[in-house]
Structure 1
Amino acid sequence: MASTNNTKGNGHPAPAEELPLPPPETETSLANQAIMLGETILTIQAGGTPVYGILQRSRAMTSQSDYFRLQFRGYAKAEGQHWVMLDGDDSRFHAVYNLAWVRVDRPSKTVTFGPKGGIQCSPGMTGSGLDTYLFANVINWAKGVCPEYAISPGMVSIGQPPTEDERVQKHAFYAGQAFQFEWQDPAQRTGLYFKDKVSKLLGVWNKDSVKEFGGEDMLKTLSGLDESRAELQAQMERLENAHESMSRALQKEKSTSQILTGVLILVALIAIWAVI
């Protein structure tokens, strides 16, 4: 009976063949499994106008992958003393706009940032710095989870032929997080961003443009509003008391004036009668 001899010619066992790595799980599948971790209020300076909205964090973990996603939904913007409610893509969690994610693939020890076409802001959030904030925060999350993992290069494209400013901004967006960036075509409509390790990325944003409004800040604001309301109530009560006191004083003065007027009329009548 034939037998299998798993040895080399020198008598040592032959090394086992390495199994191929499984393909990475898709972000769509992981997104469907993601569980919300929490929400934070953001204040964003969009064109000099404060915009308020909700930042939602979600995560999916499998035996192969770790997936983290941030999504922003606008709520309202403050115009002077009035709040204007947002609508359309600005006001809802969207599958394309105002989100960023990162997928960790454990078998290959690699990290992929997304969306794959680059982070896109809804019309009302364009130029607000929200895209940089979202990208910086998924970078910081990855740095905390798998700093030594490699980064899968990402490809971004610009639909229309870009202007010089658009090319500079696109390059600066990735370079600002310590990525290397190279255009892949002569027209510079497609670019590749890459870096060898997650730990070498920065994860920074303009904290004057985008601020997190956490639970403690919310409680402080509510407490301050309650104190202001109590002070306004006390002022109203003082004003009402002063008004009542003034009304009583005026009524008393009016009564005194009426009495004096009556006395003067009576004295005048008596004087007339005396003359007659």
Structure 2
Amino acid sequence: MSNRSLKTPPKTDKTASEPEAAPLPSPEDESHLAGRSTAQAEQLIALFDNGVPIYLFSRISSGHSAQSDFFRIQFVTYARAEGNRWLSLSGEASEWMATRNCLQVAVDHPSQTVSFGPKSGFSLSPEIAGLGLSGYAYSQAINWLKQRYPDYRVLPSVLPAPEAEGEEARTHRNSRLAAHGFDFEWDDSTQVHGRYYKARVRQLISGWDSAKVTEISLSALLGTMSRHDEEHAELQQKLHGLQTQEHSLETSLHKEKQTNLLLTGITCFVLIFSLLGALGFY
């Protein structure tokens, strides 16, 4: 057996052979994503302001790119009940707007993150603020996210301005978002300005006050229209019957009037001849 020296193989630097991870691309701009989205569905909704219904439409739009997905829900008012008539609403609440009366969500797949928008914060016009519509909007967005990206992280987003001034409105905004499961980071001790976020989408909670916000189904709407048509036809039939009775009464009155005139003429004729006979004219 020959005595050969055993050589130790040279050490290799494993870290040097591993390629560095490529940096993640920046999230796409929400305005760009909004421009790529298309309308998917519309829903008729009834809000109740002290028992008075306000009817509006919600429009859901979505879009996607190789890097992102996008979801938006918008609102536009139609009419408000004023006594026995409908009052069509005007102003910004009656128009589809890019950043007002809409809530949107941008999903970035490389970072597996979600951000709520618009960047300025979700806000509603005064005509439809404080009526439960915010909870409805967040519920629609949360349901959409949980069905698709339950393990994505929700990035901090700017808190929406309270729908009214004062501590009560601020407390209501914060409690509403907390009810959806969001956590907060504050810029001040008064908890007015800050951001809301969540570790995972699946931890968010959907749900809204159905006593304040009611979805009106197409079948229910068609049923209501059908009942109104039936009631209208019934009223028309009753009106036609009353008009027929009125015409019959007018005809009877006209005949009675003609008969009375004839009888009056005959009576006068008889009286005149009787008077002439009594005076000896014939």
TM above 0.5, yes or no, is yes
**Worse-matched range after superposition: 14-23 or 52-61:** 14-23
Quick check: 1:195 aligned with 2:188?
no
Quick check: 1:102 aligned with 2:105?
yes
Change (3 A) 1:100 1:8: farther
Change (3 A) 1:8 1:186: farther
- How do 1:175-214 residues align onto structure 2 when only pairs under 5 Å count? 175-214=178-217
- Residue in 2 aligned with 1:165? 168
- Residue in 2 aligned with 1:239? 242
Change (3 A) 1:253 1:171: same
TM-score (norm. length: structure 2)? 0.84
- Residue in 1 aligned with 2:36? 33
Quick check: 1:72 aligned with 2:69?
no
Quick check: 1:91 aligned with 2:85?
no
CA distance in 1, matches of 2:160, 2:106: 20
2:159 aligned counterpart, secondary structure: strand
- Residue in 2 aligned with 1:228? 231
Change (3 A) 1:196 1:130: same
How far off is 1:116 after superposition?
3.2
How far off is 1:180 after superposition?
2.4
Q: Partner letter of residue 54 of structure 1?
A: F
Aligned partners of 1:155 and 1:193 also within 8 Å: yes
Change (3 A) 1:157 1:142: closer
1:101 aligned counterpart, secondary structure: strand
Aligned partner (choices 144, 148, 151) of residue 147 of structure 2? 144
- Residue in 1 aligned with 2:219? 216
Aligned partners of 1:30 and 1:67 also within 8 Å: yes
TM-score (norm. length: structure 1)? 0.85
Number of aligned residues: 268
Change (3 A) 1:48 1:97: farther
Aligned partner (choices 244, 261, 264) of residue 261 of structure 1? 264
CA distance in 2, matches of 1:147, 1:186: 32
Aligned partners of 2:24 and 2:110 also within 8 Å: yes
Change (3 A) 1:29 1:11: closer
How far off is 1:251 after superposition?
1.5
Q: Partner letter of residue 148 of structure 1?
A: D
CA distance in 1, matches of 2:262, 2:19: 119
Q: Partner letter of residue 196 of structure 1?
A: A
CA distance in 1, matches of 2:229, 2:11: 82
- Matched residues, percent identical? 35
The two structures, once aligned, show a CA RMSD in angstroms of 2.7
- Residue in 2 aligned with 1:3? none
2:145 aligned counterpart, secondary structure: helix
- Residue in 1 aligned with 2:52? 49
Change (3 A) 1:107 1:11: closer
**Worse-matched range after superposition: 14-23 or 80-89:** 14-23
Write the deviation string for residues 5-38 of structure 1: whole angstroms up to 9, x where unpaired.
xx97399995554322222212111001111113
- Residue in 2 aligned with 1:21? 24
1:78 aligned counterpart, secondary structure: strand
Write the deviation string for residues 181-234 of structure 1: whole angstroms up to 9, x where unpaired.
343322433123222222222221122222223433332233233222222221
**Worse-matched range after superposition: 258-267 or 195-204:** 258-267
Write the deviation string for residues 102-140 of structure 1: whole angstroms up to 9, x where unpaired.
122222222222223431011222212222221221111
Segments of structure 1 that go 5 or more residues without pairing to the other structure are 1-6
Q: Which has the larger radius of gyration?
A: 2
Aligned partners of 1:174 and 1:181 also within 8 Å: no
How far off is 1:238 after superposition?
0.8
CA distance in 2, matches of 1:131, 1:233: 43
- Residue in 1 aligned with 2:126? 123
Aligned partners of 1:71 and 1:93 also within 8 Å: yes
Write the deviation string for residues 30-85 of structure 1: whole angstroms up to 9, x where unpaired.
00111111322222224543222222211111111110101112232221123333
Aligned partners of 1:30 and 1:60 also within 8 Å: yes
Q: Partner letter of residue 80 of structure 1?
A: G
